[in-house]
Each structure stands twice: as structure tokens, then as C-alpha cells.
Structure 1
Amino acid sequence: MPFPPPPPEPDSPSDPNGSSPPKRWVSQKNSIVAFSSIAIALYGYDQGMMSLVNTNYSYLRTMGISGDSSMVGVIVSVYYLGCLVGAIIASDWADKKGRKRSINACLYTTVVGNILMFMSGIIPWKSDNTWRGGSCALMLIGRVVLGLGVGGIDATIPVYSSELSKDGARGRALAKEFQANIGGLLVAFGLNLLSTRLLGKESQWAWRLPIIIMQVFPWVLIFIIKRLPESPRWLISEDRIDDARKALIGLHGEVQADEFLDEFHRAQQEESDEQIGYLDMLNWNGSQFHPTMVTVMGQINQALTGYGAVSVYGPQIFELLGWDVLAAENTTLINYTIYFMMMVIAWMSIDVLGRRKLMVWGSGGLAICFALLAVLGGLALDLFHEPSLIIEILGSIVLVVSTAIFGICWLATVWLIPTEIYPSGARAQGSAISVIIWGLANFAVTFLTPLGFNYLKYWLFLVFAMTNTFAGWWTWRYSPETGGRSFEENQEFFVSAREEGSWVVKKVDGGKFLRMPPKQQDVANAEDGEIAKDDPTETAPLLEQHSESG
């Protein structure tokens, strides 16, 4: 858990769904933080798990494929197709049935998908673990079903979390959750590496145990979600005012609950009553087309950084730098450990430097790192024709640095922006579109990367250097700074862009959205009769964390 539990507090009011929880030793606020973090860690666990499953000899025999078969990439990447479908279904449920019920359904779906993966070829049929192709088919089905659940979670958790966080700390909250994502990746890879060392690459349990251990995540989340409140914003949108008040009392106490309730109710009434659908978001003339394109390109550009491939195929990438299999796996573990630690810098900087600046700087740094890796890979494979310790060490340092850059600058930012630029009626759909594009982009990257290993070798790094250059240019030109502003303030950018006929950030509203707003903006607004800095508005916290140090 990223935050220590607070002292015991009195009984909270009834849950919005009608249940009366017992006396609590962990507050609702900390439960929400823990829940969101574990849910995001679930996705990271899958990435770390598959990175060594792909190289297990028993797994390859059970699937009836070779280590260099394109089916290795298909089994990994088909999961992302499940994710995009799950995101669509879950976001629809999140709007119609509530954030909690949508997430709960996704958790049970994840349980089923994980069991199907574990059962693939577990008992030989006529001395054949491949089940005449059935093992691979069941693994593919399991990966898709798992993707349905995890994709739905990824679509709803950022919305749920952002609706319970203050404007000045939304980035910090989500970046902490994504640190848990890397924690999940690290735990999975560590368990996988331990089981491989103890049991060997010929043992089926070396790959089955890390798969079934994933069950811990959804079951813990199913237990926690029973005590969580529904999003007060969603409850207000459904005219469930009393339930929204109960949820706010459980989060923030009775006195401020009424103040928050009045403010959220006013904000809801000010928004258009028009139902916003996917066609309105994808139609060129639709009111939400511009923010949707910012969302889409953010996810495409994140995929173009190449770090979906590094997360899933870490050991193989270190082998391209000259390490043998054992050393590559150990170095990957070190890389993931540093990755996890560097996420502290991410949540410390994202609300200080802003989303846009981090992404632009990050793309530049990644482009330089991948260009260096292409040179070092060429030296290792073409010049020396044998392992060179200096090249291996230098290449590993560069790859670790690039991993840190990605974690700090790109991991959380593109997930945060969609939760900040849409009105309430489109926030869940916007988050779903983000997951859909993430699924399609990562499907392509994780499917093509094994082919890149086989045919491009170290030239694959040069490809990523060029794609990072493009990602940085697009972000600099078209992606507005959304940090430090309320949801409504961020929508002003798109209104101004429509009126001025330009999407170029520096040309919209005098370049106001090139950077974070001045710290005194709230004071100025108060002088104009708008939102006072200490008023219970969009800028006031719903989730005040008990530990700012994490």
C-alpha cells in the first residue's frame, strides 16, 4: 500500500448503495488510494509475468510454438484487443450503472480470464500437452477475457480517481497509482525469475505459478470495493443527491459535505444536458472531437516511445546489447527496480512541471537514448562479433536511463489528460477511447516487436528514436497543458480553438495553455467574483492524503 493507514476513525455513514459498514480501522480515503493503486498494479503484473513466460521452454512446447514464432507476439498482443473491447463495455456501464458496479464486473472477468490461461494444457490429453492446438487456443481465449477485465478497469479507474481528487493534485494521485503499476510489473518479473531459477525453464510450474498468483489482485480488490463510496459526481448526475451527500460525508465529514454537494450540483447544472455519445466524439464536427484527438494522439505517441515493448520483452532487448540469457534476465530485474524507484520523481514533478513539458522533454531524451542504443547494438553485433563487457555495460546504463525517462515523463501523463479535458457527460467515454487506442497501439507494437528482433536486430532502436522524435514534435505543437486547472477551465482551450480555427497550442487564447497557470490565478479569480482559493470548489480536495511522502 503506497500510503500508511491513518488512526482509527468513527463509523462512517451508510454506503450509497445502502449497506452499513462496520467500524473501520482504515479510512475510505486510504481505501480508495489503495484500491486504485492495486488495480493499476494488476496491469503491470501481466506485463512482467509474460516477459519470462514467453521464454519458458515448457510453455513454448505446450503452446506448440517455437521461441521465434510470430505466435509468441500474437498471444501477448491479443490481450490488448480484449482491453479495447472491455474499455467500451465498462465505460458504458460506468455511466449507466455507476463507477463501482462497472469496476466490480471487470474484476470477476479478470478472475475468469486468468484461470483459463492457467488451465491451458495443464493435463496431457493422449500424452499431448498441446491438446492438438487446443492449449494455444485456450491461452488466446484466456488472454482476451483477461484483457476484457483489465481494459475495463483501466478505463474506469482514472475517471473514478480523478473525480475524487483536487485539481492541483490529480497528477500526483495518478502518478502514485502508476508507481504501483510498475510495482506490479516488478513483483511479477521477480516471482517469474525466482520460479525459473528454482524450477528451471523446462518446468511447467515455472510459468504456471506466476500466472495463477495474479488471482491475488482481483480478489483483494473485490474485497476492498465493498467499502468504497460511489463517485459523488456520478451520483449527482443521476439525481441521487442524498446518496451523493452520504458519500461526501464518508469522505470529508458532514460540514464540508454540504459545501461540496452544492458546488458539484451547480457544476452539473451548468453542463449541457445533451447526451454525448461516441459519434459526437469521433465526428469531425462533434463538440468533443478536438479533445478526443488529443486523447488519441497521446496514446499513439506513448506507444511510439517503444516502452510497451521494453516492458514485455525486456530480457530479449538486453540480449540485443550482447548479454547472455541469464545476465539479460538479471539486468532486466535491476531495470524494473530502478523504474519503480524513479516513479517517485514522476509524482513529485507532474503537478509542478506540468504534463506537456514532461512529455516533450521525455520524447527528446528517449530519442537520444534509443539512437545511442542503436549505435551500441551495432558495435556489439557487427563490429566486435562477440560479447563486449564495455558495450554491454554502456548499453544497459542507457536503457536504464531511458526507462527512467519514460516513467517520469510519459507513463502517467497520457492517462491523466483524458480525465481532465472532458465534461462529466463524456469523461467515461473519453477514458474508454484512451484505453481503446492504447489497446490498438500496443497490440501493434507488441506484435511487431518480436519480428523486429528477428529481422531488424539493433536497428529497431533507431526506429524508436525516430518515433520518439515525432511524438515530441506533435505534443509540443498540439497538446495543451491541462495541469493545475479545473475540468471546466481546460474545456475553455477547446472552445477558444474552435473560435480561432486553430489547434496549435501557441496560437490558441494567446498561448495561455502552453504552460501551467500562475499560482496566483485562484486569488485573481476570487477578486473577479469567481472561485475563491479556499472555497469548496473544483480546486478543493476530496482526497487529502495522510502522507504526502507516499
Structure 2
Amino acid sequence: MSPRDGRAKTHGLVGKPLLYFTSIFVSLGVFLFGYDQGVMSGIITGQYFKDYFNQPTRAEIGTMVAILEVGAFISSLLVGKIGDIIGRRRTILYGSMVFFVGGAFQTFATGIPMMLVGRIVAGLGVGALSTIVPVYQSEISPPHNRGQLACIEFTGNICGYAASVWVDYFCSYIQSDFSWRLPLFLQCVMGALLGFGSLIICESPRWLLDHDHDEEGMVVIANLYGKGDLHNDKARQEYREIKTNVLVTRQEGERTYTDMFKRYYRRVFIAMSAQAFAQLNGINVISYYAPLVFESAGWVGRDAILMTGINGITYLLSTIPPWYLVDRWGRRPILLSGAILMIISLSAMAYFIHINISYTPALTVISVMIYNAAFGFSWGPIPWLYPPEILPLSIRAKGASLSTATNWAFNWLVGELTPVLQEAIHWRLYLMHAFFCACSFVVGKLSFFTGCTMDRLITNSS
């Protein structure tokens, strides 16, 4: 492959413009993740949806919402190996295609079984994308702003969530089944856009060098780090560092999951526990069921969806400060400060719903907004940054798969149980998640890696 061919694939973009274009575009993958998280929250409270599915019970609603995570859990375990074999770019393509099919099943669902099938299939796509996009993102990003680009990626996720809530709100004015079919159909549109876009983005240079496509890999590295100049010192240094790491890894042989736990158990624990607590901290009580939370606080019907939309905007804005702070403050201070704010806001939420006074609706909304902002600033983006950043190339895809699978497992647990627990223990549910926030504060006191390049990290001990 010639340098000219390499430039053609990036449509003339090199350096930071190429880096940010690629990062923002692949964030559409996590946009779909966020959209799918939020789209059901407004739909399940709609009268046309309830009538069409014969007034589903709380348990049936929980299953319809949470079964997406079953598909995501399965694909997140498999996609690491798949991504190593066929490449990051083609994995993104196939993930978007699967997501498109799942969205179509949901859009044209004729009953709960067909809706469940659609949610599982879409989950397979979401699980693949939510696993491979962070790996791809980390492998094209220079060390000094890898954290910033990962946080931008998370903003794409929350942008998807906020968009889904407002789509639900405006579609709630439609007086037909299109009030819930249209929001679900938009999944297909976005899946198609990502699929077509995956045909024009560059492949991961680390994957190319690992598969001995050295010339093509050098072109991509030059375009990303050397402004298109194959003789740029920075680009050639990056090439040598990646290739050396690839050769060392190859000499050691492919690492199994057993090897991964034996040699890198501490890093794997950090990656998995961060994702587990990101869910146990209660975010999907709000993401999946915010209208139900607001209804329990006194908001009624469409007003509950409107409050969810306003909260979504706050949530989105809160993800922007980490762009500038994550590589300055470090990971741990952000996690610890976020945990403290979430403990306070969840406890306040429980208290206000419990006392049930005239100000409860407004105070609950404020508490939810503070909670979402704290999560969006801290435990939202940072856990996605750790796995590809702290795991060496030999186990990076496997480790990212395992940590993402942990996220989906706990995601399913929270999504499945929340409607039932809301009905059974009411305001105490938020105290339970405040307790887990306190636990995450303790885990956050662990010593984390910061400021080291990904390909030098392999030389450190576990």
C-alpha cells in the first residue's frame, strides 16, 4: 500500500483533524449505546405502548428493558477475539449491521416476544460496539490526550441518551402507535450511518502492525501523528514503539484468560470493579426509569418525560469538564469526588420522596440532576478509559471484553430489578445505591496508573 493510498482513505485529513474526526465519528457507536439506554424510558410510560402490549406488568417492563444487556453481555465476551482476527474497523461495521437488524425487530414488533428478540439482537450489536470502540479509540490516540478523547467518546454516549429522551417526549404528542415505533426506528437510521462510516475510517495502527501490514500501519501512524509525513520523527518513534511491543508480545505467545488473571490480576480487577461499580452506583435507575422515578415523586404523565429531558441536558453538559480535567487532575480524584456527590444526592433523593411534601417533586428533580451530573463527570467516562489504557496489547482485547461484560452483567441486574424494587422498597432503593457509591469510594482509593504510554505499560508489573 502506498502513502498516497493511505491519504486517500482519510480524505485529506491528517494530524489532529483526522484524530478528532475519527474519534467523534466512532463515538456514534456509543451514541447508539446511549440512545438504546434512554429510548425505552419514555416509551414504557406511553399509553399507546401500554395498550398495544396489554398493560405489561412491572416485571415484564423490566425484562423488555434489561434483556438488551443479555445480548450485550454475550457479544462483549466474544468480540475481543473477533476484533483481534478481523480488525477493529470491520468489527464496528458488523456490530452496526447487527444493531440495525435489532432495531428493525423492535420497530415492527407485534407482541412482547418479538420485542424481546429485537432487544436481544440490538444488544448483541451494542455489546460489540461498546467493547471495540474504546479499544479502537485508545489505539489511535496519543498518550497525552487519550483521556480527553475517551471522555469525548463518553459524551457521545450521553448525547445519545439525551437525544432519545427528547425524541420520546416529542413523539408522545403523536396519537397513534407511531408514538413508540418512531423512536425505535431511529435506531436503524443511526446504525446504518455508523455502518457506512466504518468504511471510510482508518484501521487501528496497532492491529495493522500486529498482523504485519507494516507499510499500511506506517501510513496510518504518519497521518495520525506526523501530519502525513512518513519521515516525521514523532511518527517513526511511535511506529518503532508499537512494533517493538508487538514483537515482544508475539515472542511471549498469545495470552489466555488464565494467563491474564495470573499475571495481570490487579489490572483486571481494577478494570472489572470500575465497571461493576459504575452500574451499582445506580445510574440505570435513572437512565432506564427516570420517568417512573419522577412519577413516584409527584410528576405526572408527559411532565415526567419533560423532567427526564431536562435532566438529560444537565447530564450531557456534565460530561464536558472531564475533557479538560482528566489528564490534568488524574483519574482517581475525579472518581472520588464524583462518589461523594452521588452519595449526598441519592440520600437526598430518598429523603425527599420519603417525606412527600409539596416541594418533593422539585427537590427530587434537583437531586436527580446533581446525581446525574456527578456521575457524568466521574464514574461515567473513567471506567471506560481504564481497560484499554492499563492492559498490555497481548490481553487488551480480552481484558476489554471482560470488563465490558462485567458492565453489562451488572447493567442487566439493575435494569431487571429496578421496577420491582421501586414497587417493593420505594425510597429505600436510592439509599441502597448510595451505599454502593460509598463502596466505590473505597475502591477508588486504589492506586491507579496514570500518565504512562500504553505500549510502555507492558514492562510494568501487575
TM over 0.5: yes
Aligned residues: 453
Residue 346 of structure 1, CA deviation: 2.1
User: Which residue is equivalent to 2:84?
Assistant: 95
- The answer (yes or no) to whether the contact 1:12–1:250 under 8 Å persists in 2 is no
SS of aligned partner of 2:319: helix
Structure 2 CA distance for aligned equivalents of residues 23 and 347 of structure 1? 26
User: Which residue is equivalent to 1:41?
Assistant: 31
SS of aligned partner of 2:5: coil
Residue 23 of structure 1, CA deviation: 5.2
Structure 2 CA distance for aligned equivalents of residues 356 and 259 of structure 1? 30
Structure 2 CA distance for aligned equivalents of residues 23 and 318 of structure 1? 47
Task: Give runs of aligned pairs for residues 123-134 of structure 1, distance below 5 A.
Answer: none
User: Which residue is equivalent to 2:376?
Assistant: 407
- Letter matched to residue 74 of structure 2: V
Structure 2 CA distance for aligned equivalents of residues 245 and 72 of structure 1? 50
Task: Give runs of aligned pairs for residues 420-459 of structure 1, distance below 5 A.
Answer: 420-459=389-428
Residue 167 of structure 1, CA deviation: 1.7
User: Which residue is equivalent to 2:245?
Assistant: 267
SS of aligned partner of 2:72: helix
Structure 2 CA distance for aligned equivalents of residues 166 and 30 of structure 1? 12
- Letter matched to residue 208 of structure 2: L
Structure 1 CA distance for aligned equivalents of residues 342 and 10 of structure 2? 50
Q: Which of 293, 312, 320 is 1:317 aligned to?
A: 293
- Letter matched to residue 390 of structure 2: I
Residue 350 of structure 1, CA deviation: 1.3
Task: Give runs of aligned pairs for residues 271-286 of structure 1, distance below 5 A.
Answer: 271=249, 273-282=252-261, 286=262
Structure 1 CA distance for aligned equivalents of residues 291 and 32 of structure 2? 21
User: Which residue is equivalent to 1:176?
Assistant: 152
User: Which residue is equivalent to 1:214?
Assistant: 187
The worse-fitting range, judged by mean Cα deviation, of 174-183 and 245-254 is 245-254
Structure in which a larger fraction of residues adopt helix: 2
CA spacing shift, 1:392–1:265, aligned 2, 3 Å: same
CA spacing shift, 1:408–1:241, aligned 2, 3 Å: same
Deviation readout 1:461-484 (Å, 9 max, x if unpaired)? 1111111111111221x3x32232
- The answer (yes or no) to whether the contact 2:94–2:195 under 8 Å persists in 1 is no
- Letter matched to residue 353 of structure 1: W
- Letter matched to residue 266 of structure 1: T
Structure 1 CA distance for aligned equivalents of residues 10 and 263 of structure 2? 45
Q: Which of 460, 463, 474 is 2:432 aligned to?
A: 463
Structure 2 CA distance for aligned equivalents of residues 237 and 145 of structure 1? 31
Structure 2 CA distance for aligned equivalents of residues 137 and 30 of structure 1? 41
- Letter matched to residue 277 of structure 2: N
SS of aligned partner of 1:420: helix
Task: Give runs of aligned pairs for residues 139-218 of structure 1, distance below 5 A.
Answer: 139-196=115-172, 198-200=173-175, 203-218=176-191
- Letter matched to residue 324 of structure 2: M
Structure 1 CA distance for aligned equivalents of residues 238 and 366 of structure 2? 49
- The answer (yes or no) to whether the contact 1:45–1:188 under 8 Å persists in 2 is yes
Structure 2 CA distance for aligned equivalents of residues 351 and 259 of structure 1? 22
Q: Which of 105, 119, 122 is 1:116 aligned to?
A: 105
User: Which residue is equivalent to 2:201?
Assistant: 228
SS of aligned partner of 1:313: helix
Structure 1 CA distance for aligned equivalents of residues 195 and 210 of structure 2? 25
SS of aligned partner of 1:288: helix
- The answer (yes or no) to whether the contact 2:154–2:381 under 8 Å persists in 1 is yes
Structure 1 CA distance for aligned equivalents of residues 298 and 51 of structure 2? 26
User: Which residue is equivalent to 2:326?
Assistant: 350
Q: Which of 448, 452, 456 is 1:485 aligned to?
A: 452
- TM-score w.r.t. structure 1 length? 0.79
Structure 1 CA distance for aligned equivalents of residues 318 and 199 of structure 2? 33
Structure 1 CA distance for aligned equivalents of residues 113 and 73 of structure 2? 20
Structure 1 CA distance for aligned equivalents of residues 292 and 362 of structure 2? 16
Kindly name which structure, 1 or 2, has the bigger radius of gyration based on alpha carbons: 1
SS of aligned partner of 1:226: coil
- Letter matched to residue 453 of structure 1: Q
- The answer (yes or no) to whether the contact 1:90–1:103 under 8 Å persists in 2 is no
Structure 2 CA distance for aligned equivalents of residues 260 and 22 of structure 1? 19
Report the RMSD for the aligned CA atoms in angstroms.
2.0
Structure 1 CA distance for aligned equivalents of residues 452 and 237 of structure 2? 20
- The answer (yes or no) to whether the contact 1:233–1:264 under 8 Å persists in 2 is yes
Task: Give runs of aligned pairs for residues 283-432 of structure 1, distance below 5 A.
Answer: 286-380=262-356, 384=357, 388=358, 390-432=359-401
User: Which residue is equivalent to 1:73?
Assistant: 62
Give the gaps of 5 or more residues in structure 2. Answer: none
Structure 2 CA distance for aligned equivalents of residues 448 and 466 of structure 1? 17
Identity %: 26
SS of aligned partner of 1:323: coil
Q: Tell me which stretches of 4 or more aligned residues in structure 1 moved more than 6 Å.
A: none
User: Which residue is equivalent to 1:504?
Assistant: none
CA spacing shift, 1:30–1:359, aligned 2, 3 Å: closer
Residue 267 of structure 1, CA deviation: 2.7
Q: Which of 5, 26, 41 is 1:51 aligned to?
A: 41
Structure 1 CA distance for aligned equivalents of residues 285 and 458 of structure 2? 34
Residue 273 of structure 1, CA deviation: 2.4
Residue 316 of structure 1, CA deviation: 1.1
